[in-house]
């Protein structure tokens, strides 16, 4: 009895301590992320990748997992390969193919049999495999291979000049075309599909490959050049394995992507902007292979649809984004039904068998991503993994979705996360965490950085401004030709609404964001200079001309960019609609962070913002991270970014009325 009582007291003590711990940045390093989820064709097993940070060695460790959906047992497979990418089920339904490096660092396709543990290298592509797709009969493989650079002789070996074009200013050599190849598993023969002057990849986009049900046609997206600025000019093509001819699928001159054959040979699906306008959401269109008529399959849904799957019963599954999360739907006999996902507030990824068994990853308001299973579209989801169970011992901030009125009749929305010890009788600083994109959205669901901010005693506001993808096509396309004033008004009206709450300290408001979130931050602190106590601008684009001329998107028409700033009177518009136009008005102490080799948002903008703040006597700190990429990829630099981010805000707004108890 004494032992039982002592054990009970110890348990109670541990429970009380666990409930007092709040989520910290250090907890981020313990989180396990899940990707590449895919169910087997027969619905009896699934594969996925798990990733976790190793701070001591500054790397992210990944494993390929095999999950038996009957016994719920799982195991690590393929560890002998080292780095694995693109795992997928082979047509036999029992083997798994993947891309892994071999000698000389070339990536090749391998075949792994989980039951026996045996493995086999399939391809021996001269320049390595970028992407691949199996024919349904399992005897042929289509893959993408980068072209080899021509050898130079004589004094030309020292001539490294190249033609610069629609590419980012950091490029130091001409991009090479990417070609489509076929490989016969039995004869070991390779066959080139695309000519040398044709590319199926740019610096931004790599085409998908799709086989028709009878394996007679292979579909992919073709681009006019390998230069990244031409990435919006993709057109879908077929290769006929019988006639050995290439044929364009539609008469569109660009903006096509994601070709996907249906379960029969009658139609090809692909993504294309609604009404051909680049700022609109991309719908799934269908081209009838008999009549060549193109129809919009998802145009009646005022939401962005990602992923489609036909089932044996003729119905179709799809994922769509709504106000505050991603949901799964089934279209059957013309009726669309939202599928049950329990207490998940957003579906991150999903995969379905032909019979309708579904595996998915999803978020709860208070719990990170895990793997779930639905035996049928109608079934309730069952949790299959619990990698992040330690989060259950953390006291988290509660979330809610809010909406408000802005100009032009639009109704933006956003997510508010309250401090774990929130008391409406007290006052709290308000901190904005603005998403990038802008074609993205802040949704309900566990967010580690947001929870770490809330643990500081801050009310965290994540606004969805015009251009976001969660409120329909009109809201998304409203950012066209309006990159700053309209989205900025959406954000500031949301801030003003929250400042009216008695528990918001209107004198302590900070704004922060990365990428387009950095653009919005830079705009807001100049356009509304008296609102902000502090700002964090990460990878902030601040000048339309930089975005149009220097980065990898280059001349692409997208989001708010619809015209060249160098034509007619557009330069004045470009200046007035860039954050740089208001730099002299900024009053908020600002932390600037950027990668030196960022091709998406060049560091030039960060230098401009830093110079303006420095010259006007505004407290500023500019942190640069060496290397390529739009955001640090390694765990140590990632932690440094968020540590500096939170400390900078804390320096100027302080903690909330409740002290933070950091977990150890």
Give the domain 395-653 fold.
Rossmann fold (3.40.50)
pLDDT tens readout for residues 211-221: 999 999 999 99
pLDDT tens readout for residues 227-285: 999 999 999 999 999 999 999 999 999 999 999 998 888 899 999 999 999 999 999 99
pLDDT tens readout for residues 443-472: 999 999 999 999 999 999 999 999 999 999
What is the Cα–Cα distance from 169 to 189, expressed in whole angstroms?
40
What is the Cα–Cα distance from 395 to 565, expressed in whole angstroms?
50
Mean pLDDT of 5-12: 31
| pLDDT number for residue 16 | 41
Residue 663 has pLDDT above 70, yes or no: no
| pLDDT number for residue 658 | 52
Burial class (CB in 10 A: 0-12, 13-18, 19+), 356: buried
Residue 5 has pLDDT above 70, yes or no: no
C-beta separation of 554 from 167 below 8 A: yes
Domain ranges of the chain: 31-122, 395-653
In the chain, what is the straight-line distance between the N-terminal and C-terminal CA atoms, in Å?
Answer: 33
| pLDDT number for residue 84 | 93
pLDDT tens readout for residues 334-355: 899 999 999 999 999 999 999 9
Exposed e or buried b per residue across 327-355, where buried means at least 16 C-beta atoms within 10 angstroms of its C-beta? bbbbbeeeeeeebebeebbbbbbbbbbee
Q: In 394-473, which ranges are E strands?
A: 399-403, 413-417, 428-434, 459-464
The two tokens of residue 580 are 């740089």
Residue with more model confidence, 19 or 311: 311
Residue 664 has pLDDT above 50, yes or no: no
Mean pLDDT of 146-170: 94
DSSP strand pairing (399-403 vs 413-417): antiparallel
Phi/psi for 150 (5° steps) reads -65, 145
What is the Cα–Cα distance from 92 to 139, expressed in whole angstroms?
10
pLDDT tens readout for residues 290-300: 999 999 999 99
pLDDT tens readout for residues 412-442: 999 999 999 999 999 999 999 999 999 999 9
What is the Cα–Cα distance from 662 to 660, expressed in whole angstroms?
6
Kindly report the average pLDDT of the chain as a whole number: 93
| Confidence grade of residue 557 (pLDDT, cut at 50, 70, 90) | confident
| Confidence grade of residue 14 (pLDDT, cut at 50, 70, 90) | very low
Residue 13 has pLDDT above 50, yes or no: no
Mean pLDDT of 384-404: 97
């Amino acid at each position: 009895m004494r032992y039982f009582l002592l054990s009970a007291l110890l348990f109670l003590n541990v429970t009380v301590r666990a409930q007092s711990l709040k989520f910290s940045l250090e907890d981020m390093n313990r989180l396990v992320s899940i990707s590449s989820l895919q169910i087997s064709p027969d619905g009896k097993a699934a594969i996925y990748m798990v990733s976790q940070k190793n701070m001591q060695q500054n790397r992210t460790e990944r494993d390929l997992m095999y999950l038996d959906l009957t016994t719920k047992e799982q195991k690590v497979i393929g560890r002998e390969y080292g780095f694995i990418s693109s795992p997928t089920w082979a047509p036999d339904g029992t083997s798994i193919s993947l891309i892994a490096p071999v000698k000389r660092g070339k990536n090749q396709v391998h075949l792994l049999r989980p039951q026996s543990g045996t493995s086999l290298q399939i391809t021996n592509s001269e320049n390595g495999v970028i992407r691949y797709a199996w024919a349904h009969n399992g005897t042929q493989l289509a893959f993408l291979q980068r072209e080899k650079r021509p050898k130079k002789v004589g004094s030309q070996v020292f001539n490294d000049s190249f033609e610069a074009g629609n590419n980012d200013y950091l490029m130091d050599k001409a991009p090479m075309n990417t070609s489509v190849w076929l490989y016969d598993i039995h004869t070991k023969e390779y066959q080139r599909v695309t000519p040398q002057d044709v590319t199926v990849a740019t610096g931004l986009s790599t085409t998908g490959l799709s086989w028709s049900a009878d394996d007679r046609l292979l579909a992919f997206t073709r681009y006019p050049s390998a230069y990244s600025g031409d990435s919006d000019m993709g057109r879908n093509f077929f290769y006929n394995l019988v006639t050995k001819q290439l044929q364009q699928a539609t008469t569109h001159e660009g903006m096509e992507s994601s070709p996907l054959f249906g379960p029969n040979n009658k139609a090809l699906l692909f993504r294309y902007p609604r009404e051909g306008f680049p700022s609109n959401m991309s719908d799934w269109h269908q081209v009838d292979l008999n009549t060549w008529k193109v129809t919009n399959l998802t145009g009646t849904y005022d939401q962005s649809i990602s992923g489609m799957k036909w089932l044996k019963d003729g119905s179709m599954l799809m994922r769509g984004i709504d106000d505050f999360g991603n949901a799964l739907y089934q279209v059957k006999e013309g009726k669309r039904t939202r599928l049950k996902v329990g207490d998940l507030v957003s579906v991150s990824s999903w995969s379905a068998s032909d019979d309708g068994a579904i595996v998915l990853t999803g978020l709860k308001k208070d719990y990170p991503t895990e793997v779930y299973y639905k035996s049928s579209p109608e079934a309730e989801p069952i949790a299959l993994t619990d990698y992040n169970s330690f989060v259950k011992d953390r006291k988290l901030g509660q979330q809610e979705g809010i909406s408000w009125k802005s100009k032009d009749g639009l109704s933006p929305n956003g997510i508010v996360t309250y401090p774990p010890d929130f008391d409406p009788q007290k006052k709290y600083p308000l901190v904005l965490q603005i998403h990038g994109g802008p074609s993205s959205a802040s949704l309900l669901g566990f967010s580690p950085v947001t929870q770490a901010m809330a643990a500081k005693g801050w009310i965290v506001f994540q606004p969805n401004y015009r251009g976001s993808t969660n409120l329909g096509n009109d809201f998304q396309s409203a950012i066209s030709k309006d990159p700053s004033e309209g989205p900025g008004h959406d954000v500031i009206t949301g801030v003003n609404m929250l400042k009216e709450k008695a528990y918001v300290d209107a004198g302590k408001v900070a704004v922060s964001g990365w990428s387009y979130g950095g653009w919005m931050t830079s705009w807001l602190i100049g356009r509304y200079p008296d609102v902000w106590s502090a700002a964090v601008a990460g990878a902030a684009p601040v000048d339309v001309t930089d975005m149009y001329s220097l980065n990898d998107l280059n001349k692409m028409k997208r989001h708010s960019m619809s015209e060249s700033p160098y034509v007619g009177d557009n330069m004045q518009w470009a200046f007035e609609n860039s954050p740089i136009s208001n730099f002299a008005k900024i009053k908020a102490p600002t932390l600037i962070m950027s990668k030196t080799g960022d091709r998406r948002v060049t560091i030039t903008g960060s230098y401009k913002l830093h110079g303006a703040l420095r010259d006007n006597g505004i407290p500023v700190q500019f942190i640069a991270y060496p290397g390529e990429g739009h955001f640090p990829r390694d765990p140590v630099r990632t932690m440094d970014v968020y540590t500096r981010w939170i400390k900078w805000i804390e320096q100027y707004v302080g903690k909330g009325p409740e002290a933070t108890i950091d977990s150890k």
